Amino acid sequence: MKNTHKITVMFSLIIAGEAIFLLPFILMRVFKPVIREAFVISDAQIGEAQALYGITAVLSYFFGGFIADKYEPRKLLSLSLVLTGLGGFWMVFKPSITGLKILYAFWGISTILFFWASLIKATRQWGNEHNQGLSFGLLDGGRGFFAATIALSGAGILTFFFPEKGSEITFEHKVATLQYIIGALTIIVFLVAFLVWNTLGNTTQEKQTNEFPFDFKKAFSLMKQKKVIFHSLIIFCAYCAYKLTGVYGTYAKDVWNYSLEEATYFAVFIQYLRPISAILIGWIADKYLPSKMLIPSFSVLIITSALLGLGFSENHFMYTSFATFIGIAFATYSLRGLYFAIIEETKTPIEFTGTLVGIISIVGFTPDVFMSLFNGYMLGENPTIVEYQNLFSTFIIIPIVGLIAALGFRKSIKNE
């Protein structure tokens, strides 16, 4: 693959890899304070909608792995983007709470079934066995930069449409502004589908066939391997941490008394840590091993979660709380750049990449089912510092399990 073509392919994978989640995830993560008020919806109800996404997504992960080993990425990624964009059109018209839940269940299929395993397989093929850390670091870091830039543009819409005096912001202002944001994101999703179709091409190294290159015995043997079990747990714990980033913006509003605009800009700032973290840790990981870098990342996550959970930074948030959020975000985004980079260390044949991704994703991404629901019920309708401390204190269990899984993964690959 020529260098120019490699750059084009990675660019397309990066843009597609985040555009697919702009509507179901980035929108809620960055603009949640506005969405709560415009849709007249609580954190718990948002959690219920996202739990339905998780249920349909988990089923889609499993079958999507087989599909990724059959069809070329261009067709699968483009189809997913178009279907997801159609859901965005529906959201513009501010559906009821029931309609929003149905929409999220639909997005669980449209964003995963034809998309996720195909994206990971194409990224693994883009690199080689010596630069998987950089490959996946570029993918997730680039996705993070794209998401943060889109979020920053959306925050600019808030500034443009909201009156200068916050007290004059009416319900109609919030609804209209949110519709502009959703509409803009929907158009972007369709444009990215066009980009992928015209630039990606067939990035698979093996010849596509009309039959599934899938062996049930081989898949079953993968499921039983300790390294695959530990890999699933690593993704599970890292993804729980990522789902927790959805409360950063509301924390700023509810605890620090930030305005809607200030809370949104804080969430955008956190988003910009993602490309820095993922690319830096990916580059470092290729000098050692991606699996080794999991250990310090989970360790930092444990420490920062404890600081927030135990309230050490409650009285001096500008110096300690703010720094703690940078630490927890850096560790979280580092893990995102690593958890698929370790596929190469499992020595799984390239033709079974989609199948492996489908298997580990069933467990790894189940936080889509419960994490938003958990966040919502832990915080309640009018959260204070106490509810947030309870949330982070309970969460500490997750990175501890992740650290144990990372050590177990390292041991299992050494024993092969």
Instruction: Give the angle subtended at the CA of 372 by the CAs of 367 and 378, to the nearest 5°.
Output: 115
Residue 205: its pLDDT value, please? 44
Q: Which fold has domain 3-201+217-414?
A: Growth Hormone; Chain: A; (1.20.1250)
Q: Mean pLDDT per 10-residue run, the chain (416 residues)?
A: 76 89 83 80 82 88 81 89 94 88 94 89 74 80 81 69 59 78 91 89 48 58 81 95 89 84 82 87 84 94 92 64 90 90 81 80 85 84 88 95 96 81
Q: What is the pLDDT of residue 101?
A: 92
Structure tokens at 362: 């069933």
**pLDDT score at 210:** 44
Q: What is the pLDDT of residue 124?
A: 80
16: closest CA among 101, 81, 97, 76? 81
Token digits of residue 273: 């840590």
Q: What is the pLDDT of residue 178?
A: 82
- Output the pLDDT for position 211: 45
Classify residue 316 as exposed, middle or buried by CB count within 10 Å of its CB (0-12, 13-18, 19+): exposed
**pTM of this structure:** 0.77
Question: Quick one: the chain helix, strand, coil %, rounded to 5?
Answer: 80, 0, 20
Q: What is the dihedral of CA 91, 97, 102, 103, to 10 degrees?
A: 20
Domain ranges of the chain: 3-201+217-414
